[in-house]
Amino acid sequence: MKLKHKRVVIIGGSSGIGFATAQLALQEGAEVIIASRDSEKLNNAKLQLECDVLIKQIDINDPNKLALFFKEIACFDHLQLPAADISSGPFLMTHTSVVKKTFETKFWGNYNAIKYAYPYIAKEGSITLYSGRLGQRPSKNTAILSAVSAAIEGLGRALALELAPVRVNVLSPGLTKTEFWSNMEETERNQLFEKISNDFLIKRAALPLEIAHAAMYLMLSTFTSGSTLYIDGGYTFK
């Protein structure tokens, strides 16, 4: 029960990596607050967790609602920010509005969340941002995701200095089997996973729970700050 009497806020905690992190945090005795803009996903998550978890509907793109959300939550210990609404495509063929939407959620949403959360985070607490494997090693047609992931990692390092003693770290997952891919036909999805996984030392996609264990490490490792943790099956180094 390493998180007993601790409060953990997960924006984007209704599915995928965020949901898996909520599961592990609850097992460690934490009080968990999960937030998402999708009320149906939130209610389903609460049922699946089978535990007294607090759910809040929030759009990370709305700074005013973020400010009110953290004011209502009040004091807590750890902030996890896996939420994202991302797109990608060829640089020359992708409209700027698509790029702006990705940055609005993935970068500015996180930026504002931290800004409004900071007054309520315990000084021995932590903030975990999420980038992605493309921030360190881009591939073709991924300029948007590469840029936003690199920006998140830079923000994490800078905030570790500025917000200390609150610890700030970045988690960089590799390809992960989450609901993000659910709109693809199964055969097409499996073929894509197999193709991408060829670039990994571990020749498969990750499970959300595998990434969530890394998220737990960054919450519990009280001597870790300013780090980017690459949980990408060896993609960065291949």
Torsion of CA 122, 222, 69, 118, to 10 degrees: 60
- Which residues are CB-neighbours of 99 under 8 A, at least 6 positions away? 144
Look at residue 211 in the predicted model and tell me its pLDDT: 97
Contact (CB, 8 A) for 175 and 196: yes
Tokens (6 digits) for 215? 């998220």
Residue 44's H or E segment, with its range, is: helix 39-49
In order of their start, the domains of the chain are: 7-237 (3.40.50.720)
What spatial distance separates the first Cα and last Cα of the chain, rounded to whole Å?
37
Strand order of the β-sheet with 228-231 is: 54-57, 31-36, 7-11, 76-81, 121-130, 167-173, 228-231
Residue 229's H or E segment, with its range, is: strand 228-231
State pTM to two decimals. Answer: 0.94
Look at residue 140 in the predicted model and tell me its pLDDT: 87
Q: CA-CA distance, 217 to 221, in Å (whole number)? A: 6
* Residues in the chain, overall count: 238
The C-alpha angle 154, 157, 163, rounded to 5 degrees, equals 125
The C-alpha angle 213, 9, 23, rounded to 5 degrees, equals 40
Tokens (6 digits) for 106? 């993935």
Residue 117's H or E segment, with its range, is: helix 110-117
Q: One digit per residue, pLDDT tens: the chain, 238 residues?
A: 899 999 999 999 999 999 999 999 999 999 999 999 999 999 999 999 988 899 999 999 999 999 999 999 999 999 999 987 777 788 888 889 888 988 998 999 999 999 999 999 999 999 999 999 989 898 888 899 999 999 999 999 999 999 999 999 999 999 898 887 777 888 888 888 888 898 899 999 999 999 999 999 999 999 999 999 999 999 887 6
